[in-house]
Amino acid sequence: MAAEIPCRIFDKPCDYGKILEFQENLRNDVIAGKIEGCVLFLEHEPVYTSGIRGREEDFIKPAGDIPVYSIRRGGELTFHGPGQLVIYPVIDFRSYGFASIKEFVIFFADSIKSVLTDLCGVKNLTWHDEKAGLWVEDRKIAFTGMHFKKFVPIHGFSINISNDLSYFSRIVPCGIPDCRITSVEKETGTILQVRNVAEAVIAEINGRDK
């Protein structure tokens, strides 16, 4: 069994720019061998982010007063906001028993899938590599996009728990026309606390074989 993965939960929705800078500094310190890093669990204040394949034409409506960040991660446009759990694993994945990026990503995807199924009661979940996320039949509920440098990622995963899905109607989510977006609340009718889901994911990633 590899070492336990350190984790940190933030209590309030966070400014995206500040957390992006925090991730970058944290990664630099991990690469330099100063610290071991950790997995960050948080909610964001409303923000749109555009990955390396993001396109201006994927905005159906103007973003208005919501900030937009163009960042170096896989994928296209997405939205983050309160009620959505975001997970940023800023660790050297080799230190925790992972042999490849794919193994690392699938481990987290399977952990999230288990929590959505067992705690949240979401059924019919499938992970799609080519569509970069977890789907409930034809509806996307969890997303991924990362940028790796010397085996240490920034960015990560997001899970729609009880967030306002109308923000996704302003964009072509993930570059997929007519992409249907869902959440735990929409699928089950239950409103769960984001922190409770975060705690369950932490227990899952540190309780299963890596």
Beta carbons of 112 and 157 less than 8 angstroms apart: yes
Q: Which among 110, 113, 107 has a CA at the least distance from the CA of 184? A: 113
87, β-bridge pairs: 41, 157
> Which DSSP string do the residues of 65-109 spell out, in sequence order?
TS-EEE-SSSSSEEEE-TTEEEEEEEE-GGGGT--SHHHHHHHHH
Q: Which among 160, 144, 168, 25 has a CA at the least distance from the CA of 88? A: 144
Q: Is 179 a catalytic residue?
A: no
DSSP state of 138: T
Residue entry with tokens 């170096």 = 72
Would you say the C-alpha torsion 124, 180, 75, 197 has a positive or negative sign?
negative
- Select which of 7, 14, 120, 174 is catalytic: 174
* Active centre residues (catalytic): 174
